[in-house]
Chains A and B, each alone.
Chain A
Amino acid sequence: MGNIKAIYFKELRAFFNSPMAYIFLVIFALVNGYFFTNTFFLIGQSDLRTLFSTVPLVYLFFIPAVAMGLIARERNIGTIEIMSTLPLKTTEFVIGKFLAALTLILAALAVTSVHFITLLQVGDNVDTGAVISGYIGLALVGALYTSVGTFASSLTENQVVAFIIGVFIVLVFWLMDKMLIFIPSGISGLVQYFAVEYHLSNISRGVIDTRNLVYFFSIVGFFLFLTVHTLDTRKWKAG
């Protein structure tokens, strides 16, 4: 636990000591703000539905970008050798890194709550419950994509390559739902179960089912496991 904390704070400090974190937060807030205010002022529509549909799209590029450096950078500058020769379990290392990136994502998400506050001020009949479950959904999707990004970052020492791999895997999860019509009906149920949007839409509707929670937690666990595995097998190969 102490080791996870040490890695977590080290990583958070690395984010916030460099301009990285601020750039990410500002861009995330700007892009989502743009889409939100667009309908807000033009159509006079006052709900967060647009926000909840744009955030997952922004995530597709935003999260792999946040996560790309997590492990790839350590491999690139060689500090992975320091980390691997400290009395530190790979699992602790990976979880600390994952949680730090997730914290940044959640911070970005928290920034978008200004729109909710705006809505409470000007709108009437705001469905607070739906907004809360919407945010829970977005947080879960964020966790899932962050685990994918962490995994992608462990595959290479090149951050750009890690980013591309991350975007690719995340896109697959995102598009699965849209591809259902091309998929034989026998397995379409299965494919649908793996699609992020299927679970996200359930949660956004206010239905937080264990099925959905199990989905998110197991996919996150799966990718973190793969990350640990990737790092552990490295030592059997060339340095």
Chain B
Amino acid sequence: MIKVTQLRKNYGPVEAVRSIDFEISDGEIVGFLGANGAGKTTTLKMITGYLAPTSGTVEVNGLNISDSQLEIQKQIGYLPETNPLYGEMSVHEYLEFIAKIRGISGKDFTAALRRVVSKCGLKGVVHKSVSACSKGYRQRIGLAAAMIHDPDILILDEPVTGLDPNQIVEIRELIKDLGREKLVLMSSHILQEIQATVDRILIIDKGEIIADGTSEELMTNFMGKVKLTLEVKNASEETIAAVSGKIPEITLLSSEQESDITMIHFEYGRELDPREALFHYAVESGWIILNMTPHTANLEDVFRTMTSSGETNG
């Protein structure tokens, strides 16, 4: 369980994290989504004890980070955003070193090593030097080091950046697999990534949580409207202006004329479908429909609208 209350962090005059509250229970996979610089990494660093909050509290499994930091760190596995590693060590040496500090040695280490090597797919590289490993392998080494003590809580800061599509799928499967028994909190600025992996999404912007829920919840709450673009010929301005009067559920947003073709943009509620009515109206008014495209909102739009202007239309 992770519970964060009114967490705040200032870097000098800059407020990196303003006031963050959330609670994550065991067995949840939670995605922490935000643009670069939104405060994701800072928040994760405060949960792991790398940074101290300016104010507010972090509680992990009932322990407070300000007075039980080492206890908390024992229960967390952390993969930092930059995934720093000691290049001069071999993969085996590195994992052995991390395990030793985690209090795992001898037979326990052999078992732990076997577990993370098979889970993270490190089989071929165990005795290679870390610096000789590719980016994808380095990411897995970082992940293996974070999991070596079989922690209850895994905190992964941008675990799939820089990986190729196949590796992304592998790591995603691994995270999903881990999330069955553990609490996983992962951050990303790539939405598809989060959407494909997690149960619950926290969107952070300018140091504040602006949305919290499953991806479906976020879509219905924050993207109530569907946008529709109509490409027509022979449309007079009067008939365009009269649409809203004829079909009340539709809102006319804008229209632009290019030679004899007009692009008309509408908006309507997600639960309505006025396309048929619109077709009949077009026939009545003598429009020739060239194209009709509804833009179904996806989480990308939710994310964009929420983090770009700071305003939401839900």
Which residues from chain A sit less than 8 Å from chain B, CB to CB?
2-3, 6-7, 10, 13-14, 17-18, 77-82, 84-89, 235-239
Contacts and interface: CB of A to CB of B under 8 A. Distances in A.
Interface string B62-106: 000000001101101010101011111100010001101111000
Given A14-B88, A82-B84, A235 B101 contact: no
B11 A238 contact: yes
B215 interface: no
Nearest to B49: A85
Interface of B: 11-12, 42, 45, 48-52, 70-71, 73-74, 76, 78, 80, 82, 84-89, 93, 97-98, 100-103, 145
A209 B84 CA distance: 47
B51 A6 contact: no
B97 A2 contact: no
B52 A236 contact: yes
B257 to A, nearest CB: 53
A85 B48 contact: yes
Given A78-B82, A85-B49, A88-B73, 12 more contacts: A7-B101, A10-B89, A13-B89, A79-B85, A79-B86, A82-B98, A84-B49, A86-B73, A86-B98, A87-B102, A88-B70, A235-B51
Contacts of A89: 70
B102 A86 contact: yes
A60 B73 CA distance: 39
A2 B84 contact: no
Contacts of B85: 79
Contacts of B74: 87
B97 A10 contact: yes
B86 A86 contact: no
Contact of A85 (B50, B87, B97): B50
22 contacts: A10-B86, A10-B89, A13-B89, A14-B88, A18-B88, A78-B80, A81-B82, A82-B98, A84-B50, A85-B48, A85-B73, A85-B78, A86-B73, A86-B98, A86-B101, A86-B102, A235-B49, A235-B51, A235-B52, A237-B11, A239-B42, A239-B50
A79 B87 CA distance: 10
Contacts of A80: 84
Contact of B88 (A6, A17, A88, A238): A17
In order of increasing CB-CB distance, the 10 nearest A-B pairs are A78-B84, A6-B100, A238-B11, A87-B73, A79-B84, A85-B48, A87-B74, A87-B70, A235-B52, A81-B80
Contacts of A87: 70-71, 73-74, 101-102
B249 to A, nearest CB: 51
Nearest to B12: A238
A152 to B, nearest CB: 22
A77 B11 CA distance: 21
A239 B86 contact: no
Contacts of B145: 82
Contacts of A236: 52
A109 to B, nearest CB: 25
Nearest to A238: B11
A63 to B, nearest CB: 22
Nearest to A18: B88
A76 to B, nearest CB: 10
Nearest to A81: B80
A43 B161 CA distance: 67
Give the one of B12, B85, B101, B103 with max A CB within 10 A. B101
B101 A88 contact: yes
A88 B50 CA distance: 12
Contacts of A6: 97, 100-101
A2 B103 CA distance: 8
Nearest to B10: A238
